């Protein structure tokens, strides 16, 4: 009796759906003349404090800002930014498994929540993690990774993926560098070894050093995006 073998099912790229939704997000952003910037880092690098200083600078330049706040649990970081009185969409990933990243499907949901708000620039505070967030396209115009001097000079070499997939690297807490005897030149060298094209900012979110330079870079990229539209 002849044996009929069942067809082998080939699993498609698991990221295919994510990438499709990311492209949909880009189309939505263009239709609203918005730009989106995705901030990623390990926990404790100073993302929230940095955004707390960056937001008023962008507002002072006449731009309307919205925030997508990602965390596994709690609304602590969202509450820290609430005093700016800007639209904030909170994503707690614990509600769907505690994911260590924000994928395009949840970003799309956040954008839907913000659709009635007047926004020029959306800032994403991704879940604190140096691995997973780099693998998921959020539809952002630019991806940024934050590295604090307290984490050591070798982080770019130990976690190359996220530094390779970002357009900017922010070295934060530089006010602590002399105390910790951090080799700033070595950090920069390691970042450039992984990603020679990365735009590097040296920032102290606590003292606001470097915030203006970062803000102007964000504004410049937003303006370039819509220069000919």
Output phi, psi for 79, to 5 deg.
-65, -30
Q: Is residue 24 part of a domain?
A: no
Q: Is residue 126 part of a domain?
A: yes
The domain tally of the chain equals 1
CATH number for the domain spanning 145: value is 3.40.50.300
Q: Is residue 45 part of a domain?
A: yes
**How far is 210 from 214, CA to CA, in rounded Å?**
6
Q: Is residue 10 part of a domain?
A: no
Condensed to tens digits (0 to 9), the pLDDT of residues 163-209 reads: 999 999 999 999 999 999 999 999 999 999 999 999 999 999 999 99
Q: Is residue 15 part of a domain?
A: no
Q: Is residue 154 part of a domain?
A: yes
Q: Is residue 2 part of a domain?
A: no
Helix axis angle for 16-31 and 104-113, nearest 10°, is 30
Q: Is residue 4 part of a domain?
A: no
Domain that holds residue 188: 30-225
- CA nearest 107: which of 162, 37, 163? 37
The answer to whether the predicted template modeling score (pTM) of the entire model surpasses 0.95 is no
Condensed to tens digits (0 to 9), the pLDDT of residues 23-48 reads: 999 999 999 999 999 999 999 999 99
Condensed to tens digits (0 to 9), the pLDDT of residues 117-171 reads: 999 999 999 999 999 888 899 999 999 999 999 999 999 999 999 999 999 999 9
The sign of the torsion formed by the CA atoms of 145, 150, 156, 159 equals negative
């Amino acid at each position: 009796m002849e044996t009929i073998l069942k067809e082998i099912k080939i699993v498609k790229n698991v990221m295919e759906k994510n990438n499709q939704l990311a492209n949909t997000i880009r189309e939505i952003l263009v239709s609203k003349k918005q730009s989106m910037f995705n901030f990623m880092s390990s926990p404790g690098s100073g993302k929230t404090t940095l955004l707390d200083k960056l937001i008023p600078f962008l507002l002072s330049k006449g731009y309307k800002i919205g925030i997508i706040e990602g965390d596994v649990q709690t609304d602590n970081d969202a509450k820290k930014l609430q005093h700016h009185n800007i639209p904030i969409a909170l994503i707690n990933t614990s509600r769907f498994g505690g994911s260590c990243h924000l994928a395009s499907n949840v970003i799309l949901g956040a954008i839907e929540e913000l659709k009635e708000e007047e926004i020029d620039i959306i800032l994403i505070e991704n879940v604190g993690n140096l691995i997973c967030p780099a693998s998921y396209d959020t539809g952002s115009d630019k991806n940024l990774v934050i590295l604090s001097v307290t984490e050591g000079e070798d982080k770019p070499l130990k976690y190359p993926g996220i530094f390779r997939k970002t357009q900017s690297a922010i070295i934060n807490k530089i006010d602590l560098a002399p105390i910790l005897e951090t080799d700033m030149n070595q950090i920069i060298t390691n970042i450039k070894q992984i990603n020679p094209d990365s735009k590097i900012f040296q920032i102290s979110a606590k003292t606001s050093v470097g915030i203006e330079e970062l803000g102007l870079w964000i504004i410049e990229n937003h303006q370039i995006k819509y220069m000919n539209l």
